[in-house]
Structure 1
Amino acid sequence: MKTLIVKYKSVIKFIATFLVVYILLSVTYKFYLQFSHGLKFYPDYFTHLVAIQSETLLNTFGYNTAILPHPNEPSIKLIVNGQYLARVIEGCNSISVIILFVSFVIAFSGQLKDTVLFVLSGGVLLYVVNLLRIVMLSIGIYHFPDKSGFLHTVIFPGIIYGMVFLLWMFWVNRFSKLNKKNE
């Protein structure tokens, strides 16, 4: 058993670090969600912000867009040209995806400065891509309502998770300590 642990020490360290960071950030985010209900922003600050920014971008692209709090669930209704198209829920704010991204980068850590800068810039990039994804999804649903299920469950998750994968591969190949050992 000891031989296996020594042999796979780096894999075990990666998995343990990833799980600890992921669980810590996820629990912190869960507490944030529990204690943010009923405060100034509905349903929570980040979801509210994403809804407002989506509305602004859609209006910029020429779509008469409005957002309204959903009366029956913690979400925000997205109304385009008078048509209720979608709801912005907590899962739409990209925080869970950013937590996944951050956990991986920290588990494959590099130099502290590189890690911090990559986590911050990657998090911002994922947030922006997610925002554009919501806007494109809304436009797609508006013009092709019969394709909304396919767009929402296949195409647009592929965009955000594809971006996470590309960032991970860039990180591992350019900045992680693992790559430095192989050079």
Structure 2
Amino acid sequence: MKDFLPVLKILLRFVVIYIVLVLMYQFYLNTYENEVVDPFTRWVAKQVAFLQSALGFPTVLVDSMKLHSILFQTSGKFTTRMVEGCNVFSVAILFTAFVFAFYKGTKTYIFALGGIVLLHILNISRIALLNIIYIRYPQYEKMAHDYLFPAIIYGGVIIFWLIWIQYFALKKENNA
């Protein structure tokens, strides 16, 4: 049993951190249940609209209380809608819980924060590209939405986790 103790500690740390972060996030979401979307989701939608407009695809955001989402009107056409699940927060919680399960002091905080920022940038790019695909290549919209873009965001998480494990969490400290 002693051989499994380090693994059990990591697993327990992951589960506790994950549950605490999910509960905190749910409390945050409950605060905005009577709104179209929460402020973070709106902020992400604004950044996506800015990026799309900068790329030559003028975008207007349209609130839909009925759908609890923000609709992207890109180049005059409704493309996708921004819902809470698209804001990368849930993925960031999973990422953070995993990184902190292998806690290594201050560098854990720095890596987690840097990873969350990179996931956020990746997510904004992903949503903008999805909307552009809806405009330019509508025949690929289902494949892009259902397979390609989830693979990008979760693939990013896995790559960041592998970097964390390989270069930080399991790296032996030099005692000089």
Extract structure 1 runs of 4+ deviating beyond 4 A: none
Q: Give the aligned partner of residue 172 of structure 2.
A: 180
Which SS does the other structure have where 2:172 is aligned?
Answer: helix
Distance in 2 between residues matched to 1:29 and 1:70, nearest whole Å: 22
Q: Give the aligned partner of residue 93 of structure 1.
A: 87
TM-aligned CA deviation for residue 82 of structure 1: 1.2
What runs of 5+ residues in structure 1 fail to find an aligned partner? none
Distance in 2 between residues matched to 1:19 and 1:74, nearest whole Å: 30
TM-score, length-normalised on structure 2? 0.94
TM-aligned CA deviation for residue 78 of structure 1: 0.5
The answer to whether 1:155 aligns with 2:148 is yes
Q: 1:136 aligns with which of 129, 134, 137?
A: 129
Q: How many equivalent residue pairs?
A: 173
The letter for the 1-side match of 2:27 is F
The letter for the 2-side match of 1:62 is G
Which SS does the other structure have where 1:115 is aligned?
Answer: helix
Identical aligned residues as a percent: 36
Q: Give the aligned partner of residue 56 of structure 1.
A: 50
Which SS does the other structure have where 2:95 is aligned?
Answer: helix
**For the aligned residues, what is the CA RMSD?**
1.3
Q: Give the aligned partner of residue 30 of structure 1.
A: 26
Q: 1:19 aligns with which of 12, 15, 19?
A: 15
Distance in 2 between residues matched to 1:76 and 1:59, nearest whole Å: 16
Q: Deviation digits for residues 113-137 of structure 1, max 9, x if unmatched?
A: 1001001111111011101010111
TM-score, length-normalised on structure 1? 0.90
1:35-46 mapped onto 2 (5 Å cutoff):
35-38=31-34, 42-46=36-40
The letter for the 1-side match of 2:130 is L
TM-aligned CA deviation for residue 7 of structure 1: 1.7
Distance in 1 between residues matched to 2:27 and 2:77, nearest whole Å: 34
Q: 1:75 aligns with which of 63, 69, 81?
A: 69
Q: Deviation digits for residues 35-59 of structure 1, max 9, x if unmatched?
A: 12346xx410111001111111111
Distance in 1 between residues matched to 2:58 and 2:3, nearest whole Å: 60
Q: Which segment is superposed worse, 81-90 or 138-147?
A: 138-147
